[in-house]
Chain A
Amino acid sequence: MPTKETSAKLNRRKFLAAAAVAGAAGGVASAQAAAGPQTVQGPPRLPSALPPNAHVAAAETGAPEMPSSNEGKPGSDFMVDVIKTLDIKYVPSNPASSYRGLHESLINYGKNTMPEFLTCTHEESGVAMCHGYFKATGKPLMTLVHGVVGLQHASMAIYNAWCDRVPVLVVGGNDLDAAHRAPGVPTFHSGQDINAIVRDFTKWDDNPVSAQHFAQSFVRMYKIATTPPYGPVMMALDGGLQMEPVRDFGEPLYIPKFFPSAPPQGDLAAVKEAARLLANAERPVIVVDRAARTADGVRLLVELAELLQAPVVDQGNRMNFPNTHYLHRPANVVGQADVVIGMELSDYWATVNGFIDNGNDGFGQNLTKIKPNTKLISITSVELLTKSNYQDFQRFQSIDVSMPGDAEATLPSLIEAVKSAVANDRKDALSKRGDAIRQAHAKGLDATKQAAAIAWDASPISTARLAMEVYAQIKDLDWSLVSTSGNTSNWANRLWPMEKHYQWLGASGGYGVGYGAPASIGAALGNRDLGRFSVSIQSDGDLMYAPGVLWTAARHKIPLLAVMHNNRGYHQEVMHIQRLSNFRNRVANIGNDLAPIGTSIMNPDIAYHQLAQSMGWWAKGPITDPADLGPAIKEAVAVVKSGQPALVNVVTQPR
């Protein structure tokens, strides 16, 4: 049985340092031929039980134990070599001691490029920026988080990415060595298995224990995250592994080459059966949610819809189908369908069923939306990956032809199968069906515009007016609507012509509020590099979760036009409490506000324009007269075109 002293002498880090082979990383291409790591002597570590006290502060702020310069290349430098092979452009992160080794290597050894560190003021912001960036560019980012508390902050945003099927590479610093990590705060912030915090809503996680293990796992996590169904992945990164010199255990270190996996496709026999049902249907309906992620995906959906002359319902978690196309139709067309094909739907049950929450016994009413013998077809990659705890899989829906596979990847074979299945003598009937849909589309568009005209000159400003005042100022630009947090009755999607896949990036996925502001800024970052103009409709409640991301946008010169939908309340909750009060036959207590106590954001009203100004944004407001709105947005657009973010605070109607 070793004594305490003996154990200390054999501690992991000292052992590893002693065993390190000089120049172990010599076989790995270096990103920098700079001088090796510096030896920094920190204050002696003292026993400490609880913060805050001087000892803990010293441990928290003191310099880490570092290998001397003759002990070889720091592990975190090798990690940077690995990261640099994967085309990761940015690392939006909140700084933390548990990943200081990697942080230092990224900005010094890696020269803070590919990836570039972007300073965030909240871990949730870092993750959501990655989320928005991916949807704008199709490329994943990495974010670094502190062990335990940082990851806890990040967790809601990771859940949103999970539900929205978006890859995010999350790396969490963690001091695993209980005998040698700093006592006090760093120990509070360490965990035996920090990945457990997010394991239920990540595709994969790992906790590498060697440099080579890191290389394999990092490339693996990138591959897993970017293979449909996309999703966030997690790596716990030991502080000691970042600090200690790389070792090769007698075999040269290597970085595995990344080759993307082909996305899974629907089974060919099932594709043929789906095509047969669709080709012979009298009233087929195509419903899409996250089906198209590229321009090609949109093109393929248009081809399928035109082949079948079938209406397309775009549920809007991506820009799947052009709303200017005559086959673009509202959700209620499923009521007439004899065959429905759903592609990458987040909730098939609610696509074909309705639910009225009438407050009775907490159950509500279930109603079917479709005819009894309607055949249902599904293509979704999400069937390939389902976990148990969190209920993002929604209610169970029986499906006649179910294809676990990626919809966009399956579309070419489905289109070919439909071409073969449509009989020549059906083509006239299909053409007539298309004519009828064209008329319905035109009629629906007129009705939408007439609805938008109601309360056009009202104050607070109507959400339809808000949307169209914005559009008037950006319509000649290559615009991208990166987010509409809150709910503005979908006016932008109903009235703006949306034809390109990046003109609408969808919602949060998990409806975790606080997504809108940081995801918009992440998307704007991606759009900036692609030469697009980014605009968001920003709700008040969403912004107040982590408004510090406004500073990140100003600090890193991320141009975004944010137009506030300032309805002065958590409006979803406003209505919940009001409705429940009514069902219980009670007058809702609104206190001194307009809405039930606890749901308003007023008294005092928040000056969002001043909040933004304080963090380096150009901003204007509050705008209450609709006549003032256009000129204010025009000014803001000019600022954004110059490369800066701008915010217009608009006092709006609730929805």
Chain B
Amino acid sequence: MHFIRVCATALLLAVIAFASGVAGSSVALAASAEKGKTAFIQHGCWQCHDFNGQGSIATSNGKVIARTALPLDAFKSFVRTTNGAMPPFRPPVLSDDELDDIYAYLQSQPVPKPVSDIPLLNAARSQ
């Protein structure tokens, strides 16, 4: 019995650890990509990062935030404190829950097709 309890506890911890590893914290498990899309649009993130987080050399210095590699905590920290070209989104403007949802929305973006699978891009300039 004790062995079973230990195994169950270990399994639970493993699940939590896995979830944390994927999303940065257990809070993110409750996040909704659908709500995140709404928040992403309502709070104007799309204006510089486009609707799918692909960004632009003109507005986000070419930075792509779709499927961002930043862990959730680092992502949230940046959004809260940036004072460069990107304005900070502080709690009175954007809640923690909304930030979690936005992160989930960005992670939900599809992996882009390889360039080799896009004939139009193969027609682009070459050296």
A residues in contact (CB < 8 Å) with B? 323-324, 326, 356-360, 365, 438, 441-442, 445-446, 449-456, 458, 460, 462-465, 468-469, 471-472, 475, 487, 489-490, 495-498, 571, 574-575, 578-583, 585-588, 590, 594-596, 653-655
Contact = CB atoms under 8 A, between A and B. Distances in A.
Given A323-B125, A496-B125, A594-B41, 11 more contacts: A324-B127, A356-B85, A452-B121, A452-B124, A496-B124, A575-B47, A578-B47, A586-B93, A594-B46, A653-B51, A654-B51
Q: Which 3 A-B pairs have the closest CB atoms?
A: A582-B87, A497-B125, A455-B52
B93 A356 contact: no
A655 B58 contact: yes
B124 A582 contact: no
25 contacts: A324-B126, A356-B84, A358-B84, A358-B87, A442-B127, A445-B127, A452-B121, A454-B52, A455-B53, A455-B112, A456-B112, A456-B118, A458-B54, A471-B124, A498-B125, A578-B47, A579-B86, A579-B87, A585-B93, A588-B44, A590-B42, A596-B44, A654-B56, A655-B56, A655-B58
Contacts of A588: 43-44
B90 to A, nearest CB: 6
Nearest to A490: B57
Interface in B94-127: 109, 112-115, 118, 120-121, 123-127
A344 to B, nearest CB: 23
B42 to A, nearest CB: 7
Contacts of B66: 454-455
Given A324-B127, A445-B126, A455-B66, A468 B50 contact: no
Contacts of B123: 468, 471-472, 475
A449 to B, nearest CB: 5
A585 B92 contact: yes
A451 B64 contact: yes
B115 A574 contact: no
A582 B125 contact: no
Contacts of B109: 455
Given A323-B125, A441-B127, A358 B47 contact: no
Contacts, number: 145
B21 interface: no
A460 B112 contact: no
B46 A654 contact: yes
A357 B52 contact: no
A654 B83 contact: no
A468 B42 CA distance: 30
B88 interface: yes
A450 B89 contact: no
Contact of A585 (B42, B54, B90): B90
B56 A489 contact: yes
A655 B57 CA distance: 9
Contacts of B53: 455
Which of A446, A468, A487 gathers most chain B CB within 10 Å?
A468
A453 B113 contact: yes
A575 B64 contact: no
Contacts of A462: 50, 52, 54
Which of A451, A463, A588 gathers most chain B CB within 10 Å?
A451
Nearest to B82: A358
Contact of A654 (B47, B84, B121): B47
Nearest to A582: B87
A455 B52 CA distance: 6
B110 to A, nearest CB: 8
A455 B54 CA distance: 7
B65 to A, nearest CB: 10
Contact of B44 (A465, A498, A578): A578
A574 B56 CA distance: 15
A579 B82 CA distance: 12
Contact of A449 (B54, B59, B83, B115): B115
B29 interface: no
Given A323-B125, A456-B112, A468-B124, A654 B64 contact: no
A586 B43 CA distance: 11
A501 to B, nearest CB: 16
Contacts of A452: 115, 121, 124
Interface in B25-54: 41-44, 46-48, 50-54
A214 B46 CA distance: 56
Which of A468, A587, A653, A655 gathers most chain B CB within 10 Å?
A655
B112 to A, nearest CB: 4
B113 A455 contact: no
B115 A655 contact: no
A596 B46 CA distance: 12
A655 B121 contact: no
